[in-house]
Chain A
């Protein structure tokens, strides 16, 4: 189960990397939340899985309503991002399968690939909705790896929903006005 969940986690993060508008970002966050919940479930944290899924789905629903209109998936100029998702997946797969141990390989692949993809997205993006969705995804992963029991999952769920509920920031004032 964790191997399938790991692939779904990569898919969710890849959708966030490839999306520029609210619907695509919401879809990516929802997929990632489902995968994070499944990974938590496979680790025997059923309560945490439900909490994490609820937080992720709520965050996704909020993102669906806040941000630039449309899906914005794979718009012109997104080829480097597509390549980025594939290369990160291959490197994370090698690290998870051949270089590391501890936990399941699926868990290791999922956390590595999602964190690296979303940090890459944060560095590249300029749109607040994209940056907030990426950071919400990082919070979901932190919920799985923090190791604080149900509290970690609950805090991650709250942070994901809270970050997604943030209104878009005001445009900065120009100098001299």
Chain B
């Protein structure tokens, strides 16, 4: 029954938080209790064990379960230590809604069902009040739905080899469009509420979606696995190169943060493309560092981004080091695993990746300064994110074990 509860409890929490909006304390309490119960259901669910209580077979893969736990932890940290001017109950409502959808996608028995749930998430996010025009907010994720639907339709047919390559193209393009990475970068407004912006696709829903799509792709692309891997690696390297340079050179600090997420996604896509366990492990470690490091740090930097406050204190350099993936932070073992996987597959790729890792430095130094001089709750939050990153960097093995690697 755990997968069913893991979906239903956060969904009920989000619904309660929305229904009790006029009474924020009650909304927060109801959402927090149901969300915590949902997290317990995810943790207590046994990976790869099917549940068929409602006439539908739901299964959480080890990797999906691990990422869901990380996403729940990220939400808990953000709700416990909310960024300045953020409304906790609003944060909880959107976060629990996203978590329920992510769990449903992860547990869905077919990719088609997962895409339908993604469709609901896209429509719900579009229904929020954003600063961008509705069409601009809705179009890119909706294109992702269309491309993934086309992939599901093509998987139901047999035909020549170009058909399976077209299927691979639709899968990878659909994933890129949903995430908002190159070549489908979503329009971004730095002043928009985070829940209505493209950031949740890059930093919250995206990791689970990628695990689901890559996991299901194996059953659909028989005979075109090489094309799938090559496409992911090509897309990953393109994203790393363009986004690290853009994060360094762009005029807006908020845009620089957005590009830094895209650069991290480049690493994850390369990891998935390399197929070997080290590559997949690297991708999962990147997801942990996005969910529990980069996302909270971005949210806590938004106040100083608005105030255009930049400082050069030691904390800014430590944050920069964490964002650049240097030792002993979580990005470091991810990069080591990626290099090991690339060396095993095709060593010139490892050379390209090793050189590209240097490109993270200038952008990360810039982003570190945008944290400003954190104080109070924000300082505690930054310290927690850095501590978690150090623990993950020093002891990555338990995390990989949680994901079944």
Which A residues are within 8 Å of any B CB, using their own CB? 99-103, 107-108, 111-112, 115-116, 118-119, 122-123, 125-128, 131-132, 134-135, 138-139, 141-143, 145-148, 150-152, 155-156, 159, 162-163, 166-167, 169-170, 172-173, 175
CB–CB A119/B131 < 8 A? no
CB–CB B142/A169 < 8 A? no
Binary interface profile of B, 37-74, with partner A (CB < 8 Å = 1, else 0)?
00000000000000000011000000000000000000
Once the chains are docked, how many angstroms separate the CA of A133 from the CA of B132?
21
Once the chains are docked, how many angstroms separate the CA of A174 from the CA of B132?
9
CB–CB A170/B129 < 8 A? yes
Does B336 sit at the interface, judged by CB under 8 A?
A: no
For the complex, would chain B's binding face be called helix, strand, loop or mixed by DSSP majority?
helix
Residues of B in contact (CB 8 Å), total 43
CB–CB A99/B159 < 8 A? yes
Partner of A162, one of B111, B120, B146: B120
CB–CB B156/A135 < 8 A? no
Once the chains are docked, how many angstroms separate the CA of A145 from the CA of B152?
7
Once the chains are docked, how many angstroms separate the CA of A103 from the CA of B157?
7
CB–CB A101/B158 < 8 A? yes
Contacting chain A: which of B133-141, B281-289, B310-318? Answer: B133-141
Once the chains are docked, how many angstroms separate the CA of A144 from the CA of B91?
36
CB–CB B146/A118 < 8 A? yes
Does B405 sit at the interface, judged by CB under 8 A?
A: no
Q: Across the two chains, which residue of chain B brings its CB closest to A121? A: B146
Quick one: which of B104-147 are within 8 Å of A by CB?
108-113, 115-117, 119-120, 122-123, 126-135, 138-139, 142-143, 145-147
CB–CB A119/B134 < 8 A? no
Report if A99-B135 is in contact (Cβ < 8 Å); known contacts: A145-B112, A145-B156: no
CB–CB A146/B146 < 8 A? no
Does B16 sit at the interface, judged by CB under 8 A?
A: no
A-B contact pairs, 25 of them (CB 8 A): A100-B158, A100-B159, A102-B156, A108-B156, A111-B156, A112-B153, A115-B146, A119-B150, A123-B139, A128-B135, A131-B142, A132-B123, A138-B145, A139-B119, A141-B149, A143-B112, A145-B149, A147-B110, A147-B156, A152-B110, A152-B112, A169-B128, A172-B129, A175-B131, A175-B191
Once the chains are docked, how many angstroms separate the CA of A123 from the CA of B133?
14
Report if A131-B135 is in contact (Cβ < 8 Å); known contacts: A122-B143, A141-B149, A172-B130: yes
Contacts of A108 in B (CB 8 A): 156-157
Report if A103-B150 is in contact (Cβ < 8 Å); known contacts: A147-B112, A163-B119: no
CB–CB A135/B123 < 8 A? yes
CB–CB A103/B156 < 8 A? yes
Partner of B116, one of A102, A142, A150: A142
Chain B nearest CB from A177 CB (Å) reads 10
Report if A148-B109 is in contact (Cβ < 8 Å); known contacts: A115-B150, A159-B116: yes
Contacts of B15 in A (CB 8 A): none
Once the chains are docked, how many angstroms separate the CA of A146 from the CA of B111?
7
Contacts of A175 in B (CB 8 A): 131, 191
Partner of B110, one of A122, A131, A146, A170: A146
Partner of A123, one of B123, B143, B158, B159: B143
Does B160 sit at the interface, judged by CB under 8 A?
A: yes
Q: Across the two chains, which residue of chain A brings its CB closest to B124? A: A166
Once the chains are docked, how many angstroms separate the CA of A167 from the CA of B56?
30
CB–CB A151/B113 < 8 A? yes
Chain B nearest CB from A21 CB (Å) reads 16
Contacts of B191 in A (CB 8 A): 175
CB–CB B123/A101 < 8 A? no
Report if A101-B153 is in contact (Cβ < 8 Å); known contacts: A128-B138, A151-B55: no
Chain A nearest CB from B132 CB (Å) reads 6
In addition to A119-B150, A150-B55, A162-B123, 12 A-B residue pairs with Cβ atoms within 8 Å of each other are A100-B159, A100-B163, A112-B150, A115-B146, A131-B135, A138-B119, A138-B145, A142-B112, A147-B112, A148-B56, A155-B113, A172-B131
Contacts of B111 in A (CB 8 A): 146
- 7 tightest CB-CB pairs across the interface, nearest first? A146-B112, A119-B146, A100-B159, A102-B158, A111-B153, A100-B157, A126-B135
Contacts of A163 in B (CB 8 A): 119-120, 123
Report if A102-B157 is in contact (Cβ < 8 Å); known contacts: A142-B152, A148-B56, A169-B134: yes
Contacts of B122 in A (CB 8 A): 135
CB–CB B56/A138 < 8 A? no
CB–CB B156/A122 < 8 A? no
Once the chains are docked, how many angstroms separate the CA of A118 from the CA of B128?
23
CB–CB A101/B113 < 8 A? no
Once the chains are docked, how many angstroms separate the CA of A172 from the CA of B163?
41
CB–CB A159/B120 < 8 A? yes
